[in-house]
Amino acid sequence: MPRPDRRALLTGLAALAACPRLAQAASVRDGAGRDVAVPATVTRVFPAGPPAAIQLYTLAPDLLLGWPRANRPEEREFLLPGIGDRPEIGRITGRGNSANLEAVLQLKPDLIVDAGSTGRTYVELAERVQGQTGIPYALLDGRFSAIPESYRILGRLTGRSERAETLATWCETAMTTICGRIAGIAPGKRPSVYYARGPRGLETGLGGSINVETLAFLGARNVADQPGSGLAQVSLEQVLAWDPEVIVTIDLAFSESVRRDPAWAGVRAVKAGRVHLSPKLPFGWVDFPPSVNRMVGLWWLAKLLYPQAFPEDIRAIARDFHTLFYQVTPSEPQLDRILAGRG
C-alpha cells in the first residue's frame, strides 16, 4: 500500500481543522501587533513552549491541552489535580523543539500560543505554522515588564478577560510597589550579583538576557552585564575577577559545593554567606523557564538584595501567589520545601 503524502495529509487535516473556525472568527491583536482570528469560543489551546504553558495554566488551566515537558511528581504536587499531570505534548519553539505539525493537528487545538520573543524569526514561524495548519497562532511578549499586558491579550484570546485583569493587576501592583522602594536606594548601595547556572556555576545570563531580567528590574549590578544577550559560559577566573557580592543560583549541586570549594572561597558572596538557591517548585522563581513564575521571585530577590527595604513575609507572599496563580494553597511544610529551593 502506498504511503500517504505528508504534505497532502497536512493540507487535509488543516482544512478540516479550519472550517468551523473561519465562520465564527473574531480578531485579537497579539503581542507582536498581528491581528489573529480566533474562534468565538476557545476550548483547546496548544502552548508552543514552557513559558506559554505556565501563563496559560495560571489563567485558564482547563484550556491547556498538555505540557511541553511532563511535570515531575514533586512539581505536580503544587498544581491542580488532573491538570498538572496532563500529558507531554512537545514544543514548537525553544530548545529541543519536539512537536511535529501532524501531532499538533491531531490534538485539534482551537489556538496555539507562544510567550517569548516577538521578533521577526518568531513572527515568521507563527505565520508559517498558522498557514500550514489553519490553526490561529498568537504571540505574547515574554519580557518581564510585558507580563501584565500579555495576560490581558491572553484573556482576550481565550475569553477569560476578567481573570486576566485580576492577574495583571496583581503583577502591576507588585512591580509598582517594588520599583517605588528601589528608587530611593542609591546606586552605590545596590549589590553586584552573579547569576550561576549549572552544576559548576559557570553558565550565566549576559546583560539583556531574559534569564536575568528580574535582577535588572531590581537595579542590581549584573557582573556579566556585557554586550550580547542570552546565556554564556564563563571561566572561574572571570568570576573571581568580578568578585560579586551576591550569588543567585538555580542549581542545588552548585549551591552546596560552592560553600566548601576552596577555589571559590575568596569570592565576597561566599565569604559573606550570600549564596542563595532559588525556589523552583513547581517552577523557578528567577528563571527556568522565564515566565510569570518570576513574579513571586521578584519579591524573593528584593528581600535578599535589600532586606531593610522589604520587611514583608515571603511565606505569606508565596502562599498568596500560589493560591491565586497556581490555584493550589501550599501547606506550611510545602512552603518550607518551596523556600528551601530543593525541587
Can you tell me whether residue 113 is helix, strand or coil?
A: strand
Give the pLDDT score at 93.
86
Q: Tell me which H or E stretch contains 275.
A: strand 275-277
Question: Are domains 6-170 and 183-340 of this chain identical in fold?
Answer: yes
Distances (CA, A) of 4 to 11, 13, 102, 106: 12, 13, 13, 16
Q: Which of 131, 69, 129 is nearest to 104 (CA)?
A: 129
Rounded average pLDDT per 10-residue block, the chain, 343 residues: 47 50 76 97 97 98 97 97 97 78 95 97 96 97 97 98 98 98 95 97 94 96 89 96 98 96 97 97 94 97 97 98 98 97 84
Pick the CATH number of 183-340 from 1.10.287.3240, 3.40.50.1980, 3.30.1330.30, 3.40.50.300: 3.40.50.1980
Residue 58: which residues within 8 A CB-CB, separation 6 or more?
A: 167, 292, 325, 326, 327
Give the pLDDT score at 331.
98
Give the pLDDT score at 4.
44
Q: Tell me which H or E stretch contains 114.
A: strand 111-116
Determine if the peptide bond prior to 289 is cis (ω within 30°): yes
Can you tell me whether residue 6 is helix, strand or coil?
A: helix
Q: Are 282 and 57 in contact (CB under 8 A)?
A: no
Distance (Å, whole) CA 152 – CA 166 = 9
CATH hierarchy code of domain 6-170: 3.40.50.1980
Distances (CA, A) of 52 to 33, 57, 131, 179, 186: 17, 8, 21, 26, 36
Task: Indicate the domain borders of the chain.
Answer: 6-170, 183-340
Residue by residue, DSSP assigns 190-252 as SPEEEEEBSTTS-EEEPTT-GGGHHHHHTT-EETT--SS-SEEE--HHHHHHH--SEEEES-H
User: What pTM value is reported for the model?
Assistant: 0.92
Partner residues linked to 275 by β-bridges: 247
What's the chain's length in residues? 343
